[in-house]
Structure 1
Amino acid sequence: MIISELSELQRRTLFAKFAKIAYKNKDEAFQSGKFWGFGKVNFFDVEGAQAYLFSNDTDVIITCRGTQPGEMNDIFADLEVFKSDSVTGTKIHQGFKEEVDKIYNEVEDKVELQPGKKIWACGHSLGGAMATILA
């Protein structure tokens, strides 16, 4: 599967499915990734910030896990609404930025091992905000 060759609707559907996969455990996520043609999977879990990186020969999908009820780290991240400077100089939600900062170096290290591939980011809730910042 080459994501850029999919229609807009197909891409949106695929990313919605991967946003849902972000909530699965590692074994289920690996099986789901394989089903969709992404056999290489990395899981990141740093101080409660979680994401998966799926890759195939042409594409990388980074999907970030969103707010989980009962996970105090997620709730605190959502509530930390003060603005913080981003690397581009814009102001962004401090709690969302801090969650990205936790996983950024590990994600970047894995992305750098994927030269020439198109990078896509998705997520739901807190994960959607994290994906936007990562992009």
Structure 2
Amino acid sequence: MSRRCRWTTVALMVAGTAAGAFAATAAAQGPTVPTGPDDPACITMPTAAQCQGGPYAPPSTPTGPLDPSCMSNPADAACLGSPYLPPTVAPPPPPAAPPIAPPPPMMAPPVIAPPPVPPPVSAPPPMAPAATGMPGTV
């Protein structure tokens, strides 16, 4: 066998081994295309047609101010005000409070009679004469 033929054979064997390893790896990984919207492979391929509408689908962009997706991103340009929006209805005014009744008129305080006047203080009774002395002595 010539030298060139040997190198060709070795190169083919190396290439065949690498191709076989690649084929075995691809077969072990399984299909990479998602099968439905609930497939976890949709996390890496959210724009694939099979992933639309599932839990891994990217959020849709709002189409106008009345779009429900504006609740999560109100600062989006499509969510800002529009001349075609229905006018907002003003809330009805609160009911008027009932009038407050005036307080009852102030009555004059009752007349209190003055306290009775005590009788004038009379002089103390006279003292016994000094000549009589102490009782029980003669």
Same structural fold, with TM-score higher than 0.5 when normalized by the shorter chain: no
Between 1 and 2, higher relative CO (CA 8 Å, sep ≥ 6) is seen in 1
Q: Which structure: larger Rg?
A: 2
Report which of the two has the higher share of helix: 1
TM-score by length of 2: 0.17
Report which of the two has the higher share of strand: 1
